[in-house]
Amino acid sequence: DIQMTQSPASLSASLGETVSIECLASEDIYSNLAWYQQRPGKSPQLLIYYATTLQDGVPSRFSGSESGTQYSLEINSLQPEDEGDYFCQQSYKFPLTFGSGTKLEIK
């Protein structure tokens, strides 16, 4: 199975700041990576797919990038509604696998 190592496990940032979350794949997944946000008490929402493509309706302050097997989610100009859990998922090979998640707190 492809292992997805996600970091950090948690982070705290202030309104307006920029944060970055990383996922490292154990092998090449050829950009087949999705990022999700799960606000408290809500169902997960797809943010980005194919590593860099923004899902319809997702604010442009969210962006994805890649470098080899390392994938990053960047959130610019943090807003209060950005608080929640973020996780990655590789969609290249079955079984589909997920990162361990990052809890983002807005100070």
Partner 1 sequence: EVQLQESGPGLVKPSQSLSLTCSVTGYSVTSNYWGWIRKFPGNKMEWMGYISYSGSTAYNPSLKSRISITRDTSKNQFFLQLNSGTTEDTATYSCARLDNSGYYFDYWGQGVMVTVSS
Q: How far is CA 106 from the centre of its chain?
A: 16
Q: Does 72 bind partner 1 (CB under 8 A)?
A: no
- 35-46 burial, b at 16+ Cβ within 10 Å, e below that, comes to bbbeeeeeeeee
Q: Give the separation between CA 66 and CA 28, rounded to whole angstroms.
A: 11
Q: Which segment (19-27, 38-46, 57-65, 70-78) binds partner 1 by CB under 8 A?
A: 38-46
| Contact call for residues 63 and 54 (beta carbons, < 8 A) | yes
- 3: contact with partner 1 by CB under 8 A: no
Stretch near partner 1 under the rule CB under 8 A, chosen from 11-19, 21-29, 70-78, 96-104: 96-104
Nearest 5°: CA angle at 16, between 53 and 105? 80
Stretch that binds partner 1, among 21-29, 45-53, 66-74, 75-83 (CB under 8 A): 45-53
Q: Which residues bind partner 1 (CB under 8 A)?
A: 32, 34, 36, 42-46, 49-50, 55, 85, 87, 89, 91, 94-98, 100-101
